[in-house]
Structure 1
Amino acid sequence: MTGSASVCISESFYKGKDRLNQMERGQIMDALLSFFQDPSYPSLRLEKIHNDFWSIRASRDLRIILTRQAQVWIAAYCGHHDEAYRWAERRRVEVHPQTGDIQIVRIPEVDTPSREPPANAPLARFDEDYLLSLGVPQDYVKPLRYATEDGVLELLDGLPQAIQERILDLLDGKPVIPPPKIQVQNAEELLAHPMAQRQFVLLRSLQEVRQALQGSWEAWHFFLHPLQQEVVGARFGGPARVTGGAGTGKTVVAIHRARTLAQRYPQARILLTTFNKGLARKLKVALKGLAGEELPNVWVDHLHNLALRLHEEVAEPVQIWTEEKYRPILEKLCQGLPYSSGFLLSEWEMADAWGLYIWEAYRGFSREGRGTPLSARERQALFEVFQRVWETLRAQGAATFSGVCHRVRAALEEGHLPRFRAVVADETQDFGPAELMLLRALAEEGEDDLFLTLDPAQRIYRGPTSWRALGLEVQGRSRRLRVNYRTTREIGELAERTLPSQVEGEARGSLALLRGPTPEQRGFNREEEALKELLRWVRWLLGQGLEPRQIAVLARVHKLAESVGKRLLAEGLPAQKLDEDGEGVWYGTVHAAKGLEFRAVALFGASADLFPLKILLNKAADLQEKALVEEKERSLLYVALSRPREYLWVGYWGEPSPYLPS
Structure 2
Amino acid sequence: MEFRIADTFTDSLARLTGQEQKAAKTTAFDLQLDPAANGLSFHKLDRAKDSNFWSVRVNADIRIIIHRTTASILLVYVDHHDDAYKWAERRKIERHPTTGAMQLVEVRERVEEVEIFKPKEVAAPTPTAEPAVRLFDNLRKFELMAFGVPEEWVNDVRAATEDTLFDIIEHLPQEAQEALLKLAVGEKPAPPEPAPVEADPFAHPDAQRRFRVLTNAEELKQALDYPWDKWAVFLHPAQADLVERSFTGPTRVSGSAGTGKTIVALHRAVHLARVNPDATVLLTTFSKALANSLRVKLASLVAGEPVIAARIVVKAISSVGYDLYSERFGQPQIAAPAVIRSLIAKAASEVEGHRFSAHFLVGEWEDVVDAWQLRSWDEYRDVSRLGRKTRIGGKQRETLWAIFERVRAGLVERRVVTWSDVFGRL
Smaller-chain TM-score bracket: 0.7 to 0.9
Cα distance, 1:94 vs structure 2: 1.5
- Compared with structure 1, are the counterparts of its residues 63 and 403 closer, same or farther at alpha carbon in structure 2 (3 Å cutoff)? same
1:311-460 equivalent positions in 2, closer than 5 A: 311-312=325-326, 314-323=328-337, 336=350, 348-350=365-367, 351-365=369-383, 366=385, 368-369=388-389, 375-393=396-414, 396=415, 398-408=416-426
CA shift, 1:202, in A, is: 1.1
- Alignment equivalent of 1:301, drawn from 292, 303, 315: 315
Aligned residue for 1:242? 254
Q: Is the Cα–Cα contact under 8 Å of residues 170 and 176 in structure 1 kept in the other structure? A: no
Q: Alpha-carbon deviations, 1:631-653, whole Å to 9, x = none?
A: xxxxxxxxxxxxxxxxxxxxxxx
- Equivalent position amino acid for 1:199 in 2: R
Q: Distance in 2 between matches of 1:322 and 1:241?
A: 34
- Within 2, Cα distance between the matches of 1:167 and 1:99? 15
Aligned residue in 2 for 1:148: 161
The residue type paired with residue 158 of structure 1 is H
Paired with 2:237 and 2:164, the residues of 1 have a C-alpha distance of 23
2:193 matched residue in structure 1: 179
> Greater strand share, 1 or 2?
1
Shift, 1:257, TM fit: 5.6
Tell me the SS of whatever aligns to 2:16.
coil
Cα deviation, 1:100-127, whole Å, max 9, x if unaligned, reads 3222110113579xxxxx9933333333
| Equivalent in the alignment of 2:135 | 122
Residues 123 and 204 (structure 1), Cα distance of their counterparts in 2 relative to 1, 3 Å cut: same
1:101 and 1:387, CA in 2 relative to 1: closer, same or farther beyond 3 A?
Answer: closer
2:124 corresponding residue in structure 1? none
Distance 1:143 1:15 in 2: 26
2:123 equivalent in structure 1: none
Deviates more, 1:80-89 or 1:166-175: 166-175
> Aligned equivalents of 2:277 and 2:36: distance in 1?
47
Task: Return 163-172 or 287-296, whichever deviates more.
Answer: 287-296
Deviations 1:267-326 (A, max 9, x none): 998753201444234335545766786389976432122223333455344333323555
Which residue of 293, 300, 303 corresponds with 1:282? 293
Q: Which amino acid aligns with 1:27?
A: A
- Alignment of 1:196 with 2:186, yes or no, is no
Check conservation: 1:98, 1:135, Cα contact below 8 A. Answer: yes
CA shift, 1:230, in A, is: 8.2
Q: Report how far residue 181 of structure 1 moved.
A: 2.0
- Check whether the contact 2:136–2:158 (CA below 8 A) recurs between aligned residues: yes
CA contact (8 A) 1:7 1:202 kept: yes
Give the unaligned 5+ runs of structure 1. Answer: 113-117, 409-662
| Contact 2:147 2:175 (8 Å CA) reproduced | no
2-structure distance, mates of 1:178, 1:330: 57
Identical amino acids, percent of aligned pairs: 34
Correspondence 1:209 to 2:220? yes
**Partner Cα distance (2:183, 2:340) in 1:** 54
Query: In the alignment, which of 163, 181, 186 is matched to residue 176 of structure 2?
Result: 163
Provide structure 2 residue ranges, at least 5 long, that are not aligned to the other structure. Answer: 113-130
The aligned residue for residue 51 of structure 1 is: 49
SS state at 2:5 partner: strand
Count of residue pairs brought into register by the alignment: 391
Change (3 A) 1:123 1:344: closer
Q: CA deviation at 1:178?
A: 4.1
**Amino acid in structure 2 at the alignment position of 1:403:** D
- Over aligned residue pairs, what C-alpha RMSD do you find? 4.2
Q: Which amino acid aligns with 1:32?
A: A
Q: Tell me the CA shift for residue 97 of structure 1.
A: 3.2
Paired residue secondary structure (1:29): helix
- Equivalent position SS for 2:135: coil
Asked if the contact 1:11/1:199 (under 8 Å) is kept, the reply is yes
Q: Secondary structure at the match of 1:158?
A: coil
How far has the Cα of 1:42 moved from its partner? 6.7
Q: How far apart are the structure 2 equivalents of 1:264 and 1:26?
A: 34
Task: Mark the structure with the bigger radius of gyration.
Answer: 2
Q: Which residue of 2 aligns with 1:99?
A: 99
Separation of aligned partners in 2, 1:235 and 1:124: 44
Structure 2 vs 1, CA of residues 38 and 284 (structure 1 numbering), >3 Å: closer, same or farther?
same
Assess if the C-alpha contact under 8 Å between 1:101 and 1:182 holds in 2. no
Residues 271, 298 of structure 1: 8 Å contact kept: yes
